[in-house]
Amino acid sequence: MSAPVVDYRVDGPVATITMNRPAYRNAQNSAMTYALDDAFTRAVDDDAVTVIVLAGAGDHFSAGHDIGTPERDADQTFERRAVIWWDHVGRQGVDSRLARESEVYLGMCRRWREVPKPTIAMVQGACIAGGLMLAWSCDFVVASDDAFFSDPVVRMGIPGVEYFAHAWQMNPRAAKELLFTGDRWSADRAHQLGMVNHVVPRAELVSFTHALAGRISAMPPLGLALAKKAVNQAEELQGLRAGIDSVFGLHHAAHAHNAEVAGDALAGLDARTMR
C-alpha cells in the first residue's frame, strides 16, 4: 500500500491539507487533484474547522504539474467536478487538452479559491508553475526563508500557467519579469512584490502559520466567509476572471503551436529538461 497522495488532519479549529508526493516534490497529478478537492470539501463540511492550511510534505511545497512521473494522468480518465465537459481520453489535440486542463487545472483552482473558509498556503522550498496556482488559490501565502517561486513555462513557448493570475498577484511589470526571465524569486522578493504575506525562518513556518490561523479562527465563520467573498469579488471587478479566461485561450494556442511545430504540446520538454 502506498501512502495517500494527500494527508488530512485537524488540530483544533485548523485543518491542514498536505500534498504527499515528496519523492516527486509534490508534483500534481489528477489523483492529487481529486484528493485535494475531497480534503477541501471535508474541511468546509466540518463545522469545527474555521481555517484551512495547505502544505507540502518534505522539502518542497510543489514543483508544479506532473509532467514526467510514472503516475501522471494525461492518458487516464478522471471524474469531472469543476466543469461540465466531456472526458479528454480518446480525443485529440485541443479537444483533449482543453477538456483536461479546464477541469483539473483552471476549474479546480477556481473552485478552491472560492472555498468559504480562509485558506493559508504554507510554502517551503519550490513553488513552481502549477505550485504557484495552488498557492495563489489560497487567501494568504506564508513562506519560509528557503522558499522560491517561478513560472518558467515561457521556456516552452507558453505564456504562463493555466490559472493566469500573475498580473493580479503582483504588479504588471513584476509579472512580466517573472515570465520573461523564468527566474526563481526568493521569498523576500515575492514578499516585497506583495505575493507573499509573511516570510519566516524555516524552523518557525508551522508554528507561525498555526498561530496566524489561530488568530483568524477567533473571528465568526460567516464574517470570514463574507469578507473573503468581498475581496474576491473586488478582484473579479478588477478583471481577474475575464483576464484568466482570455489568457487560457493564448495558453491553448501555445500548446497547439508546440504540438504542430515542436513535436508535442510541451515543446518536447519535461520535468528534467525544465530544471
CB neighbours (10 Å) of residue 196?
A: 26
CB of 226 to Zn ion, least distance (A): 34
* Comparison of 53 and 158: residue with beta carbon closer to Zn ion: 158
Query: Distance (Å, rounded) from C-alpha 116 to C-alpha 138?
Result: 11
* Comparison of 101 and 151: residue with beta carbon closer to Zn ion: 101
Site string for Zn ion, 89-108 (x = CB under 5 A): ------------x-------
Query: Distance (Å, rounded) from C-alpha 193 to C-alpha 191?
Result: 5
CB of 196 to Zn ion, least distance (A): 25
* Comparison of 73 and 101: residue with beta carbon closer to Zn ion: 101
Closest-approach residue to Zn ion (CB): 101
**Contact 160/153 with Cβ under 8 angstroms?**
yes
* Comparison of 142 and 265: residue with beta carbon closer to Zn ion: 265
CB of 166 to Zn ion, least distance (A): 15
Q: In what order do the strands lie in the sheet with 51-56?
A: 6-11, 14-19, 51-56, 119-123, 140-144, 198-200
CB of 100 to Zn ion, least distance (A): 9
- Residues binding Zn ion: number (CB under 5 A): 1
Query: Distance (Å, rounded) from C-alpha 52 to C-alpha 43?
Result: 7
CB of 266 to Zn ion, least distance (A): 8
Residues 6+ apart with CB under 8 A from 83: 102, 103, 107
Residues binding Zn ion (CB under 5 A): 101
